[in-house]
Amino acid sequence: MLFLLLPIAAIFLHVPPADLVSALGTSAATDALIVTAETIAVSMLVIVLFGTPTAYWVAGRTSRSRDLVVTLIELPLVLPPAVAGIGLLVAFGRQGLLGGTFNALGVDIAFTKIAVIVAVTFVASPFYVRTAVSAFEGIDPALPAAARTLGAGPGRVFFRIAMPLASGGLGAGAALAFARGIGEFGATIMFAGSLQGVTQTLSLAIYEQFDIRFDVALAISAVLVLISATTLLSVKILTRWHSNSPSPILFAASTPPSR
């Protein structure tokens, strides 16, 4: 425990807290914070918006097709960051597979803020989708079947039954994806570069400030430690809250019994 906690505590003890706070006021730190906030917000919106129905669809597949699809979804989890960055570059860069199509539309992705969003979405979405698949698979199949028997359509079953029942797992998956995305480094620096105020996120700013102003690198590191700790705590609270909930269907509107 001491071995695990010492490097984290050292970040806060190496420099006085007042100096850490003042270092966060530098342009490098504030620009990186703004870029990170903007890109992670868009990435999480894309991940949740598209990842949730994807996970619901995967959870309903047969065992063989499910295993194949889940393996493909999990592949970015085990890819080295450099490989992910190279893959994104040759797929969406100017000379990539889809580069000509985007250039014809007047859209340049590589080394722009869009590239940061794409990189974060690519590396973080498997954390959400995989957790969401497990959450949907944990639903008692009798409940959606009963709703369908009572006349509810697929859309209503998804929003009124499946989503509330899986809400705890979806929240935990979103927190994990957020934590992975906010600390993304390798794929981002290769695909988006590290341009201050444009593509330089908090992780990239730490790397740049390491040799320039070490106190700024420490201050940004401290912010990421606090964010990571808050994220882990949120995952535990969401999981425990969902498991201890007296009603499995959360936020479902109650209707009076028919007479």
Give the CATH number, domain containing residue 215.
1.10.3720.10
Q: Would you state the pLDDT for residue 38?
A: 95
Backbone angles phi and psi of 145, in degrees to 5: -65, -40
Q: Would you say residue 137 lies in a domain?
A: yes
Q: Would you say residue 214 lies in a domain?
A: yes
State the residue for tokens 């969902």: 242
Q: Would you say residue 107 lies in a domain?
A: yes
Q: Would you say residue 171 lies in a domain?
A: yes
CB atoms within 10 A of CB 222: 20
Q: Which domain holds residue 51?
A: 35-243
Q: Are 157 and 140 in contact (CB under 8 A)?
A: no
Q: Would you state the pLDDT for residue 17?
A: 80
CB atoms within 10 A of CB 61: 14
Structural domain count, the chain? 1
Q: Would you say residue 153 lies in a domain?
A: yes
Q: How far apart are CA 205 and CA 196, in angstroms?
A: 8
Q: Six-digit token pair at 147?
A: 């709703």
Q: Would you state the pLDDT for residue 182?
A: 93
Q: Would you say residue 254 lies in a domain?
A: no
pTM of structure: 0.85
Q: How far apart are CA 233 and CA 240, in angstroms?
A: 11
Q: How far apart are CA 69 and CA 127, in angstroms?
A: 14
CB atoms within 10 A of CB 82: 12
Q: Would you state the pLDDT for residue 31?
A: 94
Q: Would you say residue 3 lies in a domain?
A: no
Q: Would you state the pLDDT for residue 244?
A: 58
Q: Would you state the pLDDT for residue 206?
A: 93
- Geometric angle at alpha carbon 173, from 39 and 57, rounded to 5°: 100
Distance, C-alpha 96 to centroid of its chain: 25
Q: Would you state the pLDDT for residue 190?
A: 93
Q: CA end-to-end span of the chain, whole Å?
A: 61
Q: Would you state the pLDDT for residue 113?
A: 93
Q: Are 257 and 191 in contact (CB under 8 A)?
A: no
Segment-wise mean pLDDT, segments of 10 residues, the chain, 259 residues: 92 82 87 95 96 92 81 91 93 82 77 94 95 90 86 87 89 91 92 92 92 89 90 78 50 43
Q: Would you say residue 75 lies in a domain?
A: yes
Q: Six-digit token pair at 130?
A: 């995989």
Q: Are 204 and 185 in contact (CB under 8 A)?
A: yes
Q: How far apart are CA 123 and CA 184, in angstroms?
A: 8
